[in-house]
Amino acid sequence: MLKLTRRTLMAAVAITPLMSFAATAEGLISIIITDPANPYWLTEGDVAKATAEGLGYEANVSAHKGDTNTESTLIDTAITNKSVAIILDPANADGSIGAVKKAVDAGIPVFLVNAEINQEGLAKAQLVSNNAQGAALGAEQWISVMGDKGTYVELFGNPADNNAATRSNGYTTVISQYPDMVQVGKEVADWDRTKGYQKMQSLLQANPDITGVISGNDEMALGAIAALKEAGKLEGVKVGGFDGSPDAVAAVKAGEMAYTVLQPVAVFAAEAVKQADNFIKTGETGAATEKQLFDCLLITAENADKYTAAFTLSE
């Protein structure tokens, strides 16, 4: 497991020249993310592109928006364009395996970021947030602000993404230790703010007296906050998020969100490109394992002023 400090998080976003290798950096690195409308994925693509260009490669960013057919087409395009590597945030833990295999069969190394596929040995690396650690970190903070008791609902991410279940299971592991915490509802909102808003409206109709909302990501949490505001109930409800997005940090500062868990997306997006560069030049990624975990950080009102850039917490 890779242990990251706040100083590491800040430094990793800065793109600095690496030591020169015998091989020359050239060619196209294709970067395929989920959806740039979400600031988390936008940062993922921007950092990966900047890192690749800083190392001397051409780079482009495209998005599959969670659709495996679109993902497959984008992989075809990357193959046609003779990419020297592909950085991919997979659309589906099972459904993306075929797309990755297609690229590998074409001789293009694939580096997965943010989400995993349910098969090892295809991608050269799978770099993700330590979602179990982050979920436990967030749940412990949420229990603290809830005062160890209350009725609550949960907003669950996209079921096709293993991260959704990992975070939910992490929440349950912590919360189940507190018998006075009672879950009265749980809805899938697919990581989406609008769906989070709509699902929260339905949950409120069925459970008007809840005191807490724990969410699998910030976008769903921000949608829930909008619905709670509209219903005049936000003041009595504690909301917890996950991602560390700029809007979520603003909500933490405003007292509307209790906390958010920062995923070091800027770190592992840059690291994936550096490992691709190593592999292109030496045939090795430089990492000890294919699957690599990056620890998350907690953002609360006490340290939110140290949030210096998107998904970056300073020392």
Judged against a pLDDT cut of 70, whether residue 7 lies above it is answered with no
Average pLDDT, rounded, for the chain: 92
Q: What is the pLDDT of residue 310?
A: 87
pLDDT value at residue 24 = 55
Q: What's the pLDDT at 14?
A: 41
**Token pair for 277:** 């560069």
Judge whether residue 6 has pLDDT over 60.
Answer: no
pLDDT digits 0-9 by tens, 225-235: 999 999 999 99
- Rounded to 5 degrees, φ, ψ at 220 are -65, -40
Measured torsion, CA atoms of residues 130, 134, 137, 140, in degrees rounded to the nearest 10: -120
pLDDT surpasses 60 at 298: yes
Q: Which tokens sit at 141?
A: 């903070």
- Amino acid 46 reads D
Radius of gyration, CA atoms only, the chain: 20
Whole-angstrom CA distances from 39 to 145, 197, 244 are: 26, 18, 10
pLDDT tens readout for residues 129-183: 999 999 999 999 999 999 999 999 999 999 999 999 999 999 999 999 999 999 9
Q: How many CA atoms lie within 13 A of 69 on its CB side?
A: 0
Residue 161 is encoded by which pair of tokens?
A: 């993404």
DSSP 47: H
Nearest CA-CA partner of 273 in 22, 31, 72, 7: 31
Q: Is the pLDDT of residue 12 over 90?
A: no
Does residue 4 carry a pLDDT above 60? no
Quick: pLDDT tens for 101-136: 999 999 999 999 999 999 999 999 999 999 999 999
Confidence class for position 71, pLDDT limits 50, 70, 90: very high
Q: Please give the structure tokens belonging to residue 8.
A: 């590491």
Q: Is 246 exposed, middle or buried (0-12, 13-18, 19+ CB in 10 A)?
A: middle
Q: Mean pLDDT, to the nearest integer, of 268-272? A: 97
Alpha-carbon dihedral angle through residues 264, 268, 269, 271, given to the nearest 10 degrees: 140
Which structure tokens are listed for 95? 């459904």
Structure tokens at 101: 């295999």
